[in-house]
Structure 1
Amino acid sequence: MSRIAVIAGQGALAPAIIAALGDPLVYALEGFAPDGVAAAPFRLERLVPFLDSLIDQGVERVVFAGAIRRPRLEPEAFDARTAQLVPRIMMAMQSGDDAALRAVLDVFEENGLKICSVNEIAPELIPEDGILTGAPSEADQRDADRAAAILAALGGLDIGQGAVVAQGLCMAIETLPGTAAMLDFVACHADLRPNPKGARGVFYKAPKPGQDRRIDLPTLGPDSVTQAAAAGLAGIAWEAGGVILLDRVESIRRAETAGMFLWARSPMGI
C-alpha cells in the first residue's frame, strides 16, 4: 500500500500537515525536529540509505513541511553512495539555498519518490484571491503594490520572502533572521514614516520568482498578525495562491481585534 512521508521542518506547518494527512510517516533532519512532533531523525550524510528505507516501507510520495536549515556536514559520516552526490550538491549550494534544495529534491525523485506540494496535500491552507478581513485603503493598496515590486526585483538574489512598505517607502526587507526580526525592526523605527498621520504600512509576503513551490512556500499565521500589529501596521497582504496561512480562524480573530486587514492579493493587484 502506498504511503506518504513528511519531512518535518521547524515551525507550525509540519503539525498542520501531519494533522491533515492523518497517519503519515514523519522524519526530520537530526537536530532540527519541530517542537511537539515525534519524528524519526535522519542525516543528510546518509541520504541514499534513508531513501532506500522509505521505499522499503512503501513510501511513494514525500512532502516537505516547515523551515529546514542547512546542517553542518561531517565528511567522515558519509556512506559511499551518498558521497558520490556531494560534488553535485556542493555545486548547487554555490548558487544559493534554493538551488541546493532543488538538487536534493532531484535526488528524491530520481529514486522514485514524488515530491508533493502543500497545495496538493492541504489546499485549504493556501488562500486564493480575496480579502479575509478588514479593508485596505487606496494608500494600503499602493504600499502592497510597491512591496510586491520590491520582492519581485530582489527574487533573483535569494534574499527573503517579505517586505514592509509604508507611504511608498521600504521600511524593511526580510533577510536571514526572519519575519519576527524584520517586524521588530519596523516597530523600533516607526518614526521613519514621513507623515505620522498617514498610511501605517503593509507587510507583504510572496514566493520568490522562479521558486520551486513544492517546498519552502512563505508561511503566515496568528503570530505574524500579532507581530505586525505590534509594529503598528495597517495590515498584511500576500500573493494569493502562493502563501500558506496557518490557523485561519485565529489569524482573522487577531487581525479583527487589532483593526488590521488580511488580504490574499492577486499578483495583478485588485
Structure 2
Amino acid sequence: MPQIERLGVIAGSGDLPLELAEAATRQGIDVHVFVLRDQGDPAAYEGRFPTVTIRIGGAAEAMALVRAQGIRDIVFAGGVRRPSLKELMPDATATKILGRGLFRQGDDGLLRTVIRHLEEREDFRVHSIGAFLTEQKPSEGRLGSIDPPGHAQADIQRGIAILDALAPQDVGQAVVIQDGLVLGIEAIEGTEALLARCATLRRDGPAATLVKLSKPMQTDRADLPAIGPDTIEQAKAAGLAGIAVEADRSLIISRDETIRRADEAGLFLIAIRRDDSE
C-alpha cells in the first residue's frame, strides 16, 4: 500500500466507517469523512473528523469536494441501500460512470464499475477496508469459547457450497442452514432482514447456522462481509446455534464486544476457509 497522508472515508451506514476512521487516525493518517446522504449518520463523526455529506447521484460535486481537501486516497465503508433511479437522480458524471447497466449488476459488479472509473479516469486510489482494520480480520479457527456442534459442521459445508454456487450470479454473502435445509439466502435485504425472516421459518430440531462469506472474485476494496455485536443479537433472536465467517476475508466490527456477546448468548463463532469444504 502506498504511503497515505490524507484519507477520504466514504461512509455508509453502521459502525464500520467510524471504526475504520479511528483505526486510520491511529496510524497517523489525516482522515476526512464523506457521509452518503440518507445512508450514513453525519452526527457520528462531527466534532471528531472533518465531515461533509455527499449525495450518491451527485458524483461530480462529490469528487470536487474530495479533491478540495487535497485527498487522492479513498476507502468505502459501511452499508449502502441501493437507491431507485428516482432517488438516485444521477448527474451527468454518475450516469457516465454507471451507464445503462446500473440496475442489472449485482453489488460487486456495480462496485467494480465505480472503482475502475475512479482509478482509471479520476486518478483516485481506492483502498481495501482490511488495509486499515487488520485486527478486525479474523484468522482461521474458533473465535469465542464455544465449539460448533457436529450438526453445525455439516451445515457450514452446505452453506459454503450454496454460496459458491450463487457467487457467479453476484447475489449475496450469507445463507442460513438448519440441518441441511436452506432457511434463507441473503439478497438485497441484507443480513439483519435475512435473520429476522429466518426466525419465522426455523423448525424443530438442531438450531440453524449463519454462514457469511465473500464471493470468490469479490473486490475487497468496498464490500467485505462484516458482522458485529448487532449481528450476534439478531442471531440469538433468530434461535441460531452460531455464525461462520470467512478467515482473512471478513471483518468483525467491535471484535472483543462481538466475541463476548457470542459467548454470553451461547453462540459459536468461527472463521473458516473455503478449502475446509474440500
TM range (shorter): 0.7 to 0.9
Equivalent residue for 2:66, pick from 54, 57, 72:
54
Deviation of the 1:9 alpha carbon: 0.5
In structure 2, list runs of 5 or more residues that go unmatched. none
How far apart are residue 125 of structure 1 and its match? 1.2
- The CA RMSD measured in Å over matched residues stands at 2.1
What secondary structure, in the 3-state scheme, does the structure 2 residue paired with 1:256 have? helix
Q: How does 1:249-268 map to 2 (within 5 A)?
A: 249-268=256-275
Question: 1:213 maps to which residue?
Answer: 220
Question: After superposition, what is the alpha-carbon deviation per residue over 1:216-259, rounded to whole angstroms, capped at 9, x for unaligned?
Answer: 11110111111111222211111111111111111111111122
**2-side partners of 1:201 and 1:45: how far apart?**
39
Q: Measure the CA separation in 1 of the matches of 2:104 and 2:179.
A: 37
Taking only the aligned residue pairs, the percentage that are identical comes to 36
Structure 1 gap segments, 5+ residues each: none
Residue 79 of structure 2, aligned match among 46, 61, 67 = 67
TM-score by length of 1: 0.88
Alignment partner of 1:178 out of 187, 190, 193? 190
Distance 2:243 2:66 in 1: 39
Aligned equivalents of 2:20, 2:207: Cα separation in 1: 34
Pick aligned residue for 1:103 from 113, 124, 130: 113
Q: Secondary structure at the match of 1:69?
A: coil
- Letter in structure 2 aligned against 1:261: F
Between the aligned partners of 1:85 and 1:207, the Cα distance in structure 2 is: 28
Instruction: Compute the TM-score of the two structures, normalised by the length of structure 2.
Output: 0.85
* Aligned residues of 2:175 and 2:186 also touching (Cα < 8 A): yes
Matched, 1:36 2:51: no
Residues 202, 208 of structure 2: 8 Å contact kept = no
Determine the C-alpha separation between the residues in 2 that align with 1:184 and 1:29: 26
Within 5 A, what are the aligned runs for 1:121-270? Answer: 121-133=132-144, 134-191=146-203, 193=204, 196=205, 199-269=206-276
Question: How many Å apart are 1:16 and its aligned residue?
Answer: 0.7
Alpha-carbon distance between aligned partners in 1 of 2:95 and 2:227, rounded to the nearest angstrom: 38
Q: Distance in 1 between matches of 2:141 and 2:59?
A: 41
AA at the equivalent of 2:105: S
Q: Which amino acid aligns with 1:174?
A: E
The one-letter amino acid of 1:103's match is: T
2:126 aligned partner: 115
Report the number of matched residues: 260
SS in 2 for 1:242: coil
Give yes or no for contact 2:109–2:170 (8 Å, CA) kept in 1: no
Change in 2 beyond 3 A, CA 1:229/1:46: closer
Larger deviation, residues 231-240 vs 41-50: 41-50
Letter paired with 2:70: G
Q: Take 2:174 and 2:201, find their aligned partners in 1: how far apart are those partners?
A: 17
User: Per-residue deviation at 1:209?
Assistant: 2.9
* One-letter amino acid matched to 1:19: E
